[in-house]
Amino acid sequence: MSEQRDKILGCACDLYLAEGLDGFSMRKLAREVGVTAPALYRHYASREHVLADVVREAYAEFTGKLYRALEGPTALDRFVRAGDGYLDFALKHPRWYQILFTAPEQLGMGKLPDDIEAMGCAVHQFWVDRVRECQDAGLLKEGDPMQISLTMWAHAHGLVSLYHHGHFRMDEATFRTQFKRSGMTMMSGMATEEFAADMAAHLAVDATAGTQAYTTGA
């Protein structure tokens, strides 16, 4: 991405999140970028075209972090790495994260462009595949992998959104720990008996370590 385009998209993201669609205009964006409106129009025909490119850039970074999980040697390792990639993206790029999960009509579009829609479908399928292969490996109970992946995403998205909006009074390192422990607790209800027992043991060890660190001031 060129330096100028990078600046345009960064300013567009900030302007949209600060003022919403009603407060977003190409004239305002040009002012934020430090160029004239006609100069901005040489890059983009409308605010909707700018915001569409913001979403494209967000998806490019997001999928890059997710798909690295496929290097994992086992179904569980790929699942865990995918979760780590999701959290890394959400915490490193909070602006992109927020705009990535914004409905198209809130971005001034009747529907997302076909290429962006395809990106979203690919991410959805990626999570369904991670759930399905964990089921095949005997880690998760049988069930509709699409419904299970949706439930897991809703849980993760809810925690991240609460953190981004300041509802969790904790630093990032503490949130990462709580995010993973909460995810394991939720997964225990979807796990096979053996895998649920493994997670319960892991959570018990984590809880003991956390108590010791708290009482000793470590």
What is the location of CATH 1.10.357.10 in the chain?
A: 58-216
Asked if residue 38 lies in contact with residue 77, where contact means CB atoms within 8 angstroms, the answer is no
| Plot region of 193 (φ>0 → left; ψ -120 to 50 → alpha; else → beta) | alpha
> What per-residue confidence (pLDDT) applies to 207?
59
CATH of 58-216, one of 1.10.357.10, 3.40.50.2300, 3.50.50.60, 3.30.70.1560: 1.10.357.10
Residues of the chain with pLDDT under 50: 209-218
pTM of the model: 0.88
What is the location of CATH 1.10.10.60 in the chain?
A: 1-45
> What per-residue confidence (pLDDT) applies to 9?
94
Instruction: Assign domain 1-45 to a CATH class.
Output: mainly alpha
Count of Cβ atoms closer than 10 Å to residue 98 Cβ: 18
Q: What are the C-alpha distances in Å from 86 to residues 2, 23, 59, 127?
A: 26, 30, 12, 11
> What per-residue confidence (pLDDT) applies to 210?
45
Tokens of 66: 């997710």
Which helix H or strand E contains 161, and what residues bound it?
helix 145-164
DSSP 168: S
Asked if residue 112 lies in contact with residue 120, where contact means CB atoms within 8 angstroms, the answer is yes
